[in-house]
Amino acid sequence: MGLAFKLGTLYLQQEAALDTYEAAVALSSDDRIDIRTYGGAIAILHYFNIQPSQPIRCMTNNPSKLSALAENGYCNVERAPIRVKPTEQTAKHLTAKMTKLGHLK
């Protein structure tokens, strides 16, 4: 959504004590807070001639990334979770991503 959107969410998180999801919804005009597509990643797989039948290891906690791969025929995907120990500064953000955005552990 751009740098200004990201900076706005960071401001609301700090000044209004909103979590990452609440801040993004407050700034979004239509409740769409993540408009990313993964077409670029799919294009890179095609460029390097990585076939959908080949196994892929995807480092992510975001199930949308796995769905994008599956929607493009990449079904032999192993998810490698990204483990980050929460700190006082990141705990609220990471919790919101899991509870409100469906991110995995």
Q: Which residues are catalytic?
A: 34, 36
φ, ψ dihedrals at 62, nearest 5°: -95, 110
Distances in whole angstroms, Cα of residue 104 to Cα of each of 19, 27, 29, 96: 17, 25, 27, 11
Residue 27 amino acid letter: L
CB 82, CB 65: distance < 8 Å? no
Question: Cβ(34)–Cβ(65) under 8 Å?
Answer: no
